A and B are shown apart, each in its own frame.
Chain A
Amino acid sequence: MFRWHDGIARAGLAIVAVLALLAAGPGSAEPKRGGMLVFAQEAPPPTLDPNFSSAISTRNIAMHVFETLITRDENNDIIDELAESHAASADGLTYTFKLRQGVRFHNGKEMTSADVKGSYERYKRMALARITLDAVVAMETPDPYTFVLKLGRQMPVFLDEVSAFVVPIAILPAEQSGREGNKIDLIGTGPFQFVEWVPDSHVRLKRFDGYKPDTRSAGTNGFAGRKQVWFDTVDFKLVREPGARVAGLEAGQLQIIEDLPAESAKRLAANRNIVIYDLKNFWLQGAWVNHARAPTTDNRIRRALQIALDMEEIMEIATDGAYALQPGLQYPGNPYYVTDGGQYYNAKDVNKAKALLKEAGYRGEELVIITNSSYQNMYKAAQVVSEQLKAVGFKVRMDVFDWATAMAKRQDKENWNLWFTGQGTGPSVGPYAAMKDVVSPQLNQFTPDPVLDKLFDELISGTSFEARKAAFGKFQARVYDQVLFLKFGDLTRKQAARANVKGFLPYRIPRMWNVWIEG
């Protein structure tokens, strides 16, 4: 469902295609070793410990320093990284990873199964997403290049979860296994090594000369593949203000920037020195619905607000035109993409909504919207939703907090009816991460739904892909039917680079390997 303003987006894609050809095809300039690149990111990393945060700002940097056993490739399929190979036993209870040999940490030591075991132990003990390894009952290292995980129960989606990069299972030297969260030395096996972190200013990485490229791929492939670093150093510079990022890029002080405002992109489209990259499906823009606080305890009232919304207006204003409209809780092209429940999406049926409110006996109970001032598109979306809901007769109160307060307010069911968010990496790595927030134990809506819990269980324990996908279809239908999540649309995020930056391929997390500056 692409729209007229996507013309720029298509132009951007065309440029990407041309660039890729240039990078790969004969006659292109040879990559040059040396120099420095400055990447501007919008948020400061709250920590650089990759096991301790799911923040994008952390992964932007950490994914260059650390690597994992298995990860996702350019198409989001599972791919070996530090693993030479991986295999599951027939009973699904034993997973064996053969490790690549000759891989070195930045401290010069070779990575062995002891390091992998230490890292997995740390992850299972303290990581944010340690639940991923909940089923693991034993870890074994039969030899220096073999690592075995024993599961206590079958978990068909185990490898999907282990390879997901929401909170990557980074491999650290074994001696750091006992470290608490946030207290590791930044030593990994990645193609870049850590130099310095000046908070509020930048993180500097340099090329790791002892890096042994993975020759199984020809080039960049997701977070894996053959990684060659051309730059001497890369700075991840914190530039919060979008305008300052754009100005720095135009002036040539910044080579690549993330989160280019859509309005600026329209202006920069004509600038020959700058290339714009579209990251489609960056996140699902939406809002959680609380089922435990009036008036959204009544499904008729929830339905009324669901069908009253005009998603085009919401997304147009929230993203300045950088979006796509579709009902799925996965992105088109994902293996699990389904459209179940779509009849309730973007219905714009004001009259029906009013009728439902009347039928439910809505008497002007205050509908509380919580949004935040830290993410502009959530802030804007909330304002539009608020006006649309007022138009059908809701009495709306909007509370705007900074992010930390908004998160704290979410915990108490008395505080809100709609809570604005963007679901980013979760949906991109699979359906479980996308919707785990509406089942126990997170339960954003506060009221357990046995039907939903059962469907979620089918989703993660289904033994075939078809069975899991069918379960997800029913799950998504249930989410729409009970109005657990109001999905507005898919946000397109824009990155931009100077035109002389070659080899850069847009991805959810920027990758600075196989990138060089021409001339």
Chain B
Amino acid sequence: MAEYVVRRLLAAIPVLLLVTLISASIMQLVPGDPASMIAGQNASQIEIERVRVELGLDRPYGERMLAWFAGLPRGDLGRSILLQRSVADAILERVPVTLALAGFGLLLTIAIGIQCGIIAALRANTWVDQAVLVVALAGVSIPNFWLSLMLIVLFGVMLDWLPAGGYIPFADDPLGWARSLILPGISLALLQIGLLARITRATMLEVLRQDYIRTARAKGLPGLLVIGKHALKNVMIPVITVIGISFGLLLSGSVVIETVYSIPGMGRLLANAVFGRDYPLIQGGLLVTAATLVLLNLVVDLLYAVLDPRVTFDRG
């Protein structure tokens, strides 16, 4: 298995390099540069050029890219142009925030998604099942940025139950932290809840059709015990797949959610980097995000092996 892990990690390197190259090339095609952001709204062309020279943005693109790549082996992701700190520091500051948000979203997803899926499967083809299915589909269909706006207006402004935006660090105020994550967490989780509920339902149905479950049920074992002991374990495999996918989606979704809720996490960091043309930050941030996704997929695959001994790693 160790060999498999090493092989997977090695295979990831070209992918990550491609990611960086693609992001760098796309950003070069995007007109504008950070100098115009720094100089200010009414700055003249000459003034912007001043800033450009001062920041070294007048140096050829290839030269800047080479310098950036040269730092990579040392773990140096360069220096953010707009944030006055190293890219690595800027990312490290944001990661806990996004992890908190994504973790909260995941918690909701698992808690609600699996429940709904199991209930729907046990009551397959009844109105309960149908209701769950429609709600799950609605979750996949409602644009989450729009839902966020609606939640903010309703709960943040009109009812004034929860903060309308912003993020409170856990260390400052644990309760405030939790409250500040509720609305964004729900907005982020809705899509995943829909996905997970549907896959749980489908898997459960297959499992319930298996002989040993039928036998157990026929022997009069209480339904809950059967589900708990036998069915759930089998459900875990596809569920972990979906959670793996979900986490990737959560990272992507956080771009929009963090922007709408003013949460200083990775998603907003990257979105602002794109709009501010903060090249080193974009490249470094996307590299880290991509690496996270690659690792996540690996962990998911390893979990399969733990849960299902039949899975081996013979094939690359």
Interface residues of A (CB under 8 A from B): 44, 46-48, 52-56, 58, 126-131, 166, 180-182, 197-201, 237-241, 243-244, 247-248, 250-251, 253, 374-375, 401-411, 421-426, 436-437, 441-442
Contact = CB atoms under 8 A, between A and B. Distances in A.
Contacts of B275: 374, 402-404
A55 B55 contact: no
A408 B54 contact: no
B36 A404 contact: yes
Which of A46, A130, A239, A251 gathers the greatest number of chain B CB atoms within 10 Å?
A46
B42 A423 contact: yes
B54 A199 contact: no
Contact of B262 (A48, A181, A240, A403): A240
A424 B50 CA distance: 21
Contacts of B264: 198-201
B164 A404 contact: no
A425 B54 CA distance: 24
Given A182-B84, A404-B32, A53 B152 contact: no
Given A44-B272, A241-B262, A182 B44 contact: no
Given A130-B50, A403-B36, A405-B31, A425 B165 contact: no
A53 B38 contact: yes
Contacts of A423: 42
Contact of A241 (B41, B46, B55, B260): B260
Contacts of B32: 401-408
Nearest to A237: B166
Interface string B36-49: 11111111111110
B184 to A, nearest CB: 12
A180 B54 contact: yes
A131 to B, nearest CB: 8
A404 B93 contact: no
A498 B22 CA distance: 48
Which of B31, B42, B166 gathers the greatest number of chain A CB atoms within 10 Å?
B42
A282 to B, nearest CB: 12
B157 A54 contact: no
Nearest to B258: A200
A142 B172 CA distance: 52
Contact of B38 (A52, A130, A253): A52
B36 A247 contact: no
Contacts of A239: 165-166, 262
A41 B272 CA distance: 16
A56 B153 CA distance: 29
Rank and list the top 5 A-B pairs by shortest CB-CB distance, nearest first: A404-B32, A54-B40, A55-B40, A407-B36, A247-B164
Contacts of B201: none
A424 B42 contact: yes
Nearest to A239: B262
24 contacts: A44-B272, A52-B54, A54-B39, A126-B50, A126-B54, A128-B50, A181-B54, A199-B82, A199-B84, A200-B268, A200-B269, A201-B167, A201-B264, A239-B166, A401-B31, A404-B34, A404-B37, A404-B277, A407-B36, A408-B31, A408-B33, A411-B45, A421-B41, A442-B45
Interface of B: 30-34, 36-48, 50-51, 54-55, 82-85, 90, 93, 152-153, 156-157, 160, 163-167, 260, 262, 264, 268-269, 272, 275-277
A362 to B, nearest CB: 29
Contacts of A237: 166
Nearest to B43: A54
Contacts of A411: 45
B44 A442 contact: yes
Given A247-B157, A402-B275, A407-B32, A47 B38 contact: yes
Contacts, number: 154
Nearest to B261: A244
B156 A247 contact: yes
Contacts of B157: 243, 247, 250
Given A404-B34, A411-B45, A247 B40 contact: no
A56 B84 contact: no
A200 B276 contact: no
A515 B33 CA distance: 38
A224 to B, nearest CB: 23
Contacts of B276: 46, 404
Contacts of A166: 42
A199 B83 contact: yes
A162 B31 CA distance: 34
A131 B46 CA distance: 10
B262 A56 contact: no
B46 A442 contact: yes
A250 B152 CA distance: 14
A181 B55 contact: yes
Nearest to A404: B32
Contact of A54 (B30, B47, B277): B47
B54 A404 contact: no
Contacts of B54: 52, 126, 180-182
A467 B83 CA distance: 46
A163 to B, nearest CB: 18
A421 B42 contact: yes
A422 B275 CA distance: 20
Contacts of A244: 152, 164-166, 262
Contacts of B36: 403-404, 407-408
A130 to B, nearest CB: 7
Which of A182, A238, A404, A408 gathers the greatest number of chain B CB atoms within 10 Å?
A404
A53 B166 contact: no
Contact of B84 (A128, A130, A197, A253): A197
A256 to B, nearest CB: 16
A181 to B, nearest CB: 4
Contacts of A54: 39-43, 47
A501 B295 CA distance: 51
B53 to A, nearest CB: 9
Contacts of B44: 436-437, 441-442
A56 B40 contact: yes
Contacts of B51: 52-53, 128, 181
Which of B40, B84, B167 gathers the greatest number of chain A CB atoms within 10 Å?
B40
B50 to A, nearest CB: 6
Which of A56, A240, A247, A406 gathers the greatest number of chain B CB atoms within 10 Å?
A247
Given A199-B264, A424-B41, 14 more contacts: A44-B82, A47-B84, A55-B38, A58-B40, A128-B43, A128-B47, A201-B167, A238-B262, A241-B260, A244-B262, A251-B160, A402-B275, A404-B37, A423-B42
Which of B51, B156, B166 gathers the greatest number of chain A CB atoms within 10 Å?
B166
A72 B211 CA distance: 87
Contacts of A128: 39-40, 43, 47, 50-51
B82 to A, nearest CB: 6
